[in-house]
Amino acid sequence: MMKMKVLTTNIWRYYDWEKRKKKLINFLKNQNADIVFLQEVAYDERLKDKWKNQVEEINKGIKYPSSSFRKLMEMKKWHDKPIDWVMFYGFGILSKYSIKHSEVIILPPVEKNKKFGFMYSILETPKGDIDLINVHFENTNKGSKEHLKRTLDWCKKRGIKPIIAGDFNMKIVENLKELAEENYEISYFIKPYKSFMPTEFSHDNVPITLDYIIIHKEKFKFISVECINNDISDHNPVVAEIKIKNNLICCST
């Protein structure tokens, strides 16, 4: 039986980065997950002589053998002030397994005219290829539900039975259950938790759940789930130990 540890966290771009960077790197080192899903990792052209992107910057202190960064959304402001340099945020993967492919799929806006979507990656493991979907959905109830529906449909049409993790922005967990429960195990229903801690920039003023890991029942099974309270970001990391079923034979499309 092959097991793997998966971790997901929204790292909140470069906000208060000098205070958080060392804490984040030390946390990821100590967790030693096999796969790390990152959302809101940034590219800042002012740092291009030091780092290609924030994933590379983080990984310099951890040294995962495989990593990938993909842009999602351009930032026009920084701390509510217009900027005159190029800055993006997007998705990152850190992996102990070889990353064979990564691409970003932009989902149609629902209630906000901003880019949201997911990063699709394929990993090569001793048990065969594994499909990963790293998500950052629209931060509205209607938008997050529609984006999850479109993502699950995208996977189904391609015969992909993935691990899906990230910032679902889904406060109504029953929406997640309604759409995914038939084919996926859902981290929250293994062990309920709150993953988002309010800050001075937040619309919500009480802890809520926005981040999940869901795994296709035909290929994977949860062994354990934990949401770890800390101060590395405004999102608490969700960590899961997952069993890979023996019938995992890879034919990703």
Q: What is the pLDDT along the chain (253 residues), one digit of tens a residue?
A: 799 999 999 999 999 999 999 999 999 999 999 999 999 999 999 999 999 999 999 999 999 999 999 999 999 988 888 999 999 999 999 999 999 999 999 999 999 999 999 999 999 999 899 999 999 999 999 999 999 999 999 999 999 999 999 999 999 999 999 999 999 999 999 999 999 876 665 566 678 999 999 999 999 999 999 999 998 999 999 999 999 997 554 444 3
pLDDT at 79: 80
pLDDT at 223: 98
Cα angle 132-10-164, degrees, rounded to a multiple of 5: 20
pLDDT at 250: 42
pLDDT at 65: 98
Q: Of 87, 89, 63, 68, nearest to 77 (Cα)?
A: 87
pLDDT at 78: 85
The rounded distance, in Å, linking the Cα atoms of 61 and 38 is 15
Given the candidates 3.60.10.10, 3.30.565.10, 3.40.50.720, 3.40.190.10, the CATH classification of the domain at 2-244 is 3.60.10.10
Q: Going by C-beta distance under 8 Å and a sequence separation of 6 or more, which residues neighbour residue 119?
A: 68, 70, 72, 90, 91, 93, 102, 103, 104, 105, 132, 133, 134
Whole-prediction pTM value? 0.94
SS3 call for 198:
coil
SS3 call for 54:
helix
pLDDT at 199: 64
Structure tokens of 159? 């015969």
